[in-house]
Amino acid sequence: MKRILTGLQPTGKLTLGNLIGGINQIKKYQNEFDSFIFVPDMHSITIEQNPIELRKNIISTIALYLACGIDKDKNTFYIQSENLYHANLSWILECNVGFGQLSRMTQFKDKSQKKINVTCGLFTYPVLMAADILLYSANFVPTGIDQKQHVELARDIAECFNKKYGNTFVVPEPIIPQLGAKIMDLQNPLIKMSKSAENEKGVIYLLDTEDVIRKKVKSAVTDSDNKVCYDSENKPGVSNLLTIYACLNNLCIIDAEKHFENYQYGAFKSEVAESIINTLKPIQEKYYEILNSNLIEEVLKNGYSKVLEISKEKYNEVKNKVGLGRIDFIV
Ligand code: ATP
Ligand code: MG
């Protein structure tokens, strides 16, 4: 069975963008593939985190995966930092990737521009991501458009390594949804909706209350046209709301447009807001139930022993090929 792998950073509260571009993709593929889903907490500390909040977010992310319908029996759940092989493999890969190659990563350019203290970790983050993927021989990585370049880097790293040291890594492929690969910020529809956004007003969090969702959608930036149609270049705000509606209701954009043909913006926004609320309400109810149960501990315990075995084997294969340590010494 082919394997897919996904991770959502515990950098904050998960957003509607993470649900549409990340979690809903896993839900779609969990019956077809051997699905690995993890919390990349080591990625989070590439930007400053409050340790208490970070730990809360790690657990909350697992609870949200489960509450969103990621099946505990069809997926393997784990926390990145609890398995030391990720960082070890990352170091070996770092020594096999060019500085120039990493300098071309657009997410580093975007994120580093917003920060005063730019860490080396933020720069090398895509290599750790490559290690996350290659360690488990993942065939597919479902992701939003923002991570496409990083998956391509992982492919390049795998191909170069295989060429230099002999066939070692599976070359992964990104799976990018046709619709909803980049949900935009409601206040600035020219930028991606992100959990680490500075302005919370433009971001729908999965745990937002009904009133907050209504307010955020009502104040979403649109235009003065008052015509609901898809035109991402000239009407980015309306197009984003249409995309959200289409994704949450399993429609194509044309059908979503037809549905809102005779709507004014006020009524259009109300219906989009209700659609978000109807999607998030059951998730929120389950989330609080899961937080108060033993389920999180159970899935992490099962996941940990499974991933440890797989990653140990792959890491030792790599270590031996590169010539580190003693050949018969298994770490
Ligand atoms: P951060 O701001 O900390 O980078 P993020 O919201 O970008 O957070 P990530 O943890 O980096 O979230 O990404 C998790 C997954 O969600 C990835 O697969 C990513 O492609 C997807 N994703 C993130 N934001 C969006 C979005 N706005 N639309 C669609 N998919 C998204
Ligand atoms: Mg991101």
Orientation angle between helical segments 148-165 and 120-134, nearest 10 degrees: 70
Beta pairing partners, 192:
184
The bound ligand whose nearest atom lies closest to the alpha carbon of 193 is 1
pTM: predicted TM-score of the whole model, two decimal places: 0.92
Residue pair 38/271 in contact by the 8 Å Cβ criterion:
no
Which distant-in-sequence residues (6+ apart) come within 8 Å of 73 by Cβ?
Answer: none
Distance from CA of residue 319 to its chain's centroid?
29
What one-character-per-residue DSSP string does 198-265 give? S-GGG--BTT--HHHHHHHHHT----S-------TTT-HHHHHHHHHHHHHTT--HHHHHHHTTT--H
Question: Which is the closest atom of ligand 1 to the Cα of 18?
Answer: 16
- Kindly report which listed range (90-94, 145-149, 265-269) carries the lowest average pLDDT score: 145-149
Which distant-in-sequence residues (6+ apart) come within 8 Å of 50 by Cβ?
Answer: none
Phi, psi of 155 (to 5 degrees): -65, -45
192 is catalytic: yes
The bound ligand whose nearest atom lies closest to the alpha carbon of 44 is 1
The continuous run of DSSP H or E covering 89 comes out as helix 85-94
pLDDT at 115 over 80: no
Is residue 147 lining ligand 1, measured as CB closer than 6 Å?
yes
Residue 293 CA to ligand 2 center (angstroms) comes to 29
Is residue 143 lining ligand 1, measured as CB closer than 6 Å?
yes
Beta pairing partners, 313:
none
195 is catalytic: yes
Question: Pick the catalytic residue: 2, 13, 163, 192?
Answer: 192
- Mapping DSSP onto H, E and C, the string for 284-327 reads HHHHHHHHCCCHHHHHHHHHHHHHHHHHHHHHHHHHHHHCCCCC
| Helix, strand, coil percentages in the chain from 3-state DSSP, rounded to 5 | 55, 10, 35
Question: Which is the closest atom of ligand 1 to the Cα of 143?
Answer: 18
Which residue puts its alpha carbon closest to atom 7 of ligand 1?
194
Which of 11, 13, 9 shows the shortest CA–CA distance to 208? 13
The bound ligand whose nearest atom lies closest to the alpha carbon of 43 is 1
Question: Which is the closest atom of ligand 1 to the Cα of 44?
Answer: 3
How far is Cα 86 from Cα 94, in angstroms, rounded to an integer?
Answer: 12
pLDDT band at 162 (very low <50, low <70, confident <90, very high): very high
Is residue 111 lining ligand 1, measured as CB closer than 6 Å?
no
CA distances from 255 to 20, 220, 225, 241, 251 (A): 18, 22, 20, 14, 6
pLDDT band at 114 (very low <50, low <70, confident <90, very high): confident
The continuous run of DSSP H or E covering 153 comes out as helix 148-165
**Across all residues in the chain, what is the average pLDDT?**
95
Is residue 24 lining ligand 1, measured as CB closer than 6 Å?
no
The length of the chain, given as a count of residues: 331
Question: Pick the catalytic residue: 2, 56, 109, 111?
Answer: 111
Is residue 172 lining ligand 1, measured as CB closer than 6 Å?
no
Give the model confidence (pLDDT) of 273-322 as tens digits.
999 999 999 999 999 999 999 999 999 999 999 999 999 999 999 999 99
115 is catalytic: no
Which residue puts its alpha carbon closest to atom 30 of ligand 1?
21
What does the CA dihedral 260, 188, 266, 183 come to, rounded to 10 degrees?
40
Question: Pick the catalytic residue: 27, 182, 195, 314?
Answer: 195
pLDDT at 161 over 90: yes
